[in-house]
Amino acid sequence: MDWSKAKNILIIAFIVTNVFLVITIERNLFREPNLPLPIDKTIQSVTHVMEEKGIDIQTDIPRTITPMPVLEVEYETYEAQDISRLVPRDKDTDNGPKGKFEIVNEKVLVYTASGISKLGTKMDDEKSLDQAEDFLEKYGFMKNDVEYWRTDFDGEEYTIIFKQKYKGNFLEDSYMKVQVTAFGEVKYFERIWLKPANLGDSKNEIISSTKALLKAIERLSETEGPKTIIDISVGYRFDPPSMQSAKSGTAFPVWRISLEDGETIFIDAYESH
């Protein structure tokens, strides 16, 4: 007997059984979408399937299913006169950023420093975040629809990412990126932002977080090596075929699965979308 082949068949059969169990449980749940998920059976089964694939979940798995409507949005756009209005909001302009703003394709606002000094306070993650937030405050971008996302450091500069939120949910793919040097100067800034218009008239059922995880397995398995999931959340994403030509459109509910290495996977939250 080919024991290696038999072992592989048993492993595949075990995984298929687990997936079937999870799907069966979730199918019954959609009859009453606001009930909490059966934690022990559903989450444990999905966690086991993910572990078999070398995927570690280091975050809470959302346990409720709440229907959501679509969201109509449009891009924030800029014109030449908007640049002249971008002046620091405080009076200490001598110590403020020194550079210029530019507009790319009407939707992207870019700031580039005119010169970089190697004198200043040595940065770390916390201090670089303070510098980035201070920059956003100076130019009026730090509003209540902004949330900090993450900080990356390449050995020379810090890249701080901010995301957009709407009524407690994330709103992708809008963002603000601030690059801060190791000595605390803002080197580069980029902003693409959305303007929520209105919510759809009807709320539609969304798939559960556990089902979204199962749908993500194939994409998570595209690259070798262990993976760690650090966040699982539901929100909106506006993903037009061409960002350059799009002006407005519909943002659909999606599950966002964030990995420790910075990768993000989006899963459609509507069963039929």
Give the confidence band of 63 by pLDDT, cuts at 50, 70, 90: confident
Question: Which of these, 81, 85, 72, lies nearest to 194 by C-alpha position?
Answer: 72
Cα–Cα distance between 40 and 22 in angstroms, integer? 11
Question: Which of these, 171, 173, 178, lies nearest to 152 by C-alpha position?
Answer: 178
Q: Which residues contact 109 (CB under 8 A, 6 or more apart)?
A: 78, 101, 102, 103, 189, 190, 191, 192
pTM of the model: 0.80
Q: What tokens were used for 33?
A: 């979408």
If one compares 34 and 113, the residue with the highest pLDDT of the two is 113
Q: Please determine, for residue 9, whether its predicted confidence score (pLDDT) is greater than 70.
A: no
Q: Please determine, for residue 219, whether its predicted confidence score (pLDDT) is greater than 60.
A: yes
Nearest 10 degrees: CA dihedral of 213, 214, 216, 219? 140
Start-to-end Cα distance in the chain: 46
**CB count, 10 Å around CB of 267?**
19
pLDDT digit string, tens, across residues 67-102: 999 999 999 999 888 887 777 655 444 455 578 899
Q: Are 24 and 42 in contact (CB under 8 A)?
A: no
Please tell me the predicted confidence (pLDDT) of residue 103. 94
Q: Please determine, for residue 17, whether its predicted confidence score (pLDDT) is greater than 90.
A: no
pLDDT digit string, tens, across residues 238-253: 999 888 889 999 999 9
CA 188 to chain centre: 21
Q: What tokens were used for 78?
A: 């800029």
Determine the average pLDDT of the residues in 219-229: 86
Determine the average pLDDT of the residues in 2-18: 51
